[in-house]
Chains A and B, each alone.
Chain A
Amino acid sequence: MTHKSIRIGALARVEGEGSLLVRARDGRVTDVELNIYEPPRFFEALLRGRAHTEPPDITARICGICPVAYQMSACQAIESACGAEVTGPLRDLRLLLYYGEWIESHALHIHLLHAPDFLGYDSGVAMAADHRPVLERGLALKKAGNELVAALGGRAIHPVNVRVGGFYRVPARTELAPVAERLRHARDQALATVEWVAGFDFPDVEHDYRFLALSHPAEYAILSGSISVSDGTAFAASDWPAHIVEEQVPRSTALHARLDGSTGYLVGALARYALNAHLLSPLARSAASDAGLGPVCRNPFRSIVVRAVEILHACDEALRIIEDYTEPDAPSVPVEPRPGVGHGVSEAPRGTLYHRYRIDDTGLIAEADIVPPTSQNQARIEMDLRHLVEPRLDLPRGELAALCERTVRNHDPCISCSAHFLDLRLDR
């Protein structure tokens, strides 16, 4: 009987802190655990008793990398509970802000977290020794995203200008002109980035993914729509609790999300691309095709190409919104609290993010429920690991461990987000 176990005590180049354990016996993988050892922060509990206006600022603090995603899902959930809707230029400004976050987050992941895996470096900064112009281009792209978020939100991390109902202040058309100037440049850089990452050497791996993403009839969905699954199922945000259940798995430290009874579906860039690629901007669509992406991409290592395509799309769409922008009459619509339940779903850079709030008859939050993308992907990441490791058990331990880490990074997990919802076990 032969045993093999690979333990990675602290995963690097992911957002947040996690570890990994793979055990095999006689050529079969027996255990795969992606563990979260981040301490829980109890957001769903501390939201109870807060005013209906507070979730955007409070839930932004769940994640410093995707605060806009939290603000958008929170706002939409509260607005739906209160019977309000944000439309027209205010909705466009929300999209614009969100595109900024996509650009910033994807540029970070591609250049500082993911690309070093393909080029054989410990970090993006180390990569600069041999690839300085490429890294500088990546940082410039990241900065363009951050500047877009800051222009609309006040700052790149935990923007201050988002409120339930819209914004505190909206920009004049003239204020957006310099932003557009930078975005035109960023669009060129994004195109070059797609070409650069498309040339990487990708392990020959494909998985039979069950994808889930937001879908919208007219947009590559980011802010609203219905929830689509690659097997043809579709449901409204308000039906989320009927379809998706989080369960505690005794042998694991993780809560696994189950979709209609089965575990292991995938959210994020690959899912959005598979379900909505036909709605990418023409430029992004042609770049994707030139990069060799078919209508569906099942190789998780190639997700870096899909993220680059999404940056290009985000730049393109942001420019279109600025071009068409007319200043709204008021920076926000009134949202009066009323007793009820509201659901909000949007596409965080790393996948679908769901919020639900119940508001009581005094206008305060009675219950909050938040399902972040990484807790949905966790079971699927473990399946990726199992499929990847089993046929490669003969590889040297170091090589196999590196491949495992890469497998986790392929899905850009945000452990900071998920930790606050997942169960936690510490050896004491």
Chain B
Amino acid sequence: MTARPAATRRRPRLAVWKFASCDGCQLTVLDCEDELLAIAAEVEIAYFLEASSATGRGPYDLSLVEGSITTPADLRRIRHVRRVSKRLVTIGACATAGGIQALRDFADVREFASIIYARPDYIATLERSTPISAHVPVDFELRGCPIDGRQLLEVISAFLAGRRPCVPAHSVCVECKARGNVCVMVAHGTPCLGPVTQAGCGALCPAFNRGCYGCFGPMESPNTRALNAQLRELGMSTPELVRVYRTFNATEEPFRQASEEAGDDA
């Protein structure tokens, strides 16, 4: 990458924030081993606690936000992050859909806390795990559990260039065909969420003879009713159908509906 000398221009300022999450999506930034130093030449990494002790004050041109909102303190913090960010992009299933910890939505969070903690009254937690967009305006949502590194680079490049990121909203099936995979559902009878799941992973699971498990969340127009009928045909029971949608994007509306419909159809 050729760049003008840094002294002649102001580099855009990047911040990376973490809420309830596993750190995997922000790690994806550091996993861009070939591009990391080039990124650092183009943007000033002004706030990225996992990678640097230097914490530059806002405002920031681009904030990448990982994790979901699950505590009263984080509810206040995300509003602060929005105030100091010109553009805010959520990265990953937690920030975009509430993550695996949103399974509490289908249970009683006080009971969850009492299973683990001797003194659950010490735990400050909200009843639900919510995506960032439930609290502040979000400029773009990048999906995946975890996000895909190439898509992340596309998003950062697009925001630096002032254009919309080119991130397709079609299903994993499209990627699967493009990759030349054999359809695991048709050829092997393996249940697969590929038809209702957004592309972006590169159709990884089918390439490993496994059905897609929906870690990128619902595609733009998912026909879960038709898929559910097919999954039952392949031998999935009602509880299995309910569970298959209740993982990392469980509270995304199409997946929530699909799991509830599967339960109702029983």
Contacts and interface: CB of A to CB of B under 8 A. Distances in A.
A binds B: yes
Interface of A: 10-17, 37-46, 48, 50-51, 54, 57-58, 61-65, 67, 108, 112-113, 116, 122-126, 128, 132, 135-136, 139-140, 142-143, 146, 154-158, 160-161, 163, 167-169, 248, 253, 331, 405, 416, 421, 423-426, 428
A16 B33 CA distance: 21
Which of B34, B74, B122, B248 is most buried by chain A, counting CB atoms within 10 A of its CB?
A: B122
B41 to A, nearest CB: 9
Nearest to B27: A64
Given A65-B24, A154-B205, A168-B209, A45 B112 contact: yes
A145 to B, nearest CB: 10
A169 to B, nearest CB: 4
A64 B146 contact: yes
Given A45-B107, A126-B54, A161-B210, A39 B70 contact: yes
Contacts of A416: 21-23
B153 interface: no
B208 A169 contact: yes
Contact of B103 (A39, A46, A161): A46
A423 B19 contact: no
Contacts of A108: 27, 30
A66 B124 CA distance: 27
Contacts of B104: 42, 46
Given A39-B74, A51-B243, A64 B22 contact: yes
Nearest to A146: B31
Contacts of A44: 115-116
Interface string B233-262: 000000010010001100000000000000
B142 to A, nearest CB: 14
B199 to A, nearest CB: 14
Interface of B: 18-28, 30-31, 33-34, 36-37, 40, 45, 48-55, 70-74, 99-101, 103-104, 107, 109, 111-113, 115-119, 122-125, 145-146, 201, 204-205, 207-210, 213, 215, 240, 243, 247-248
A116 to B, nearest CB: 8
Given A48-B115, A51-B243, A143-B34, A154 B208 contact: yes
A177 B2 CA distance: 35
B28 A157 contact: yes
Nearest to A158: B146
Given A122-B52, A123-B54, A125-B45, 10 more contacts: A39-B70, A40-B113, A42-B116, A64-B23, A64-B27, A123-B52, A125-B40, A126-B52, A160-B213, A169-B208
A125 B23 CA distance: 19
A366 to B, nearest CB: 11
A54 B49 CA distance: 32
B213 to A, nearest CB: 7
25 contacts: A12-B55, A14-B50, A39-B19, A41-B20, A42-B101, A42-B113, A46-B103, A46-B104, A58-B100, A63-B23, A64-B23, A108-B30, A122-B52, A123-B48, A123-B53, A125-B45, A139-B37, A157-B24, A157-B31, A160-B204, A169-B210, A253-B122, A424-B123, A425-B124, A428-B73
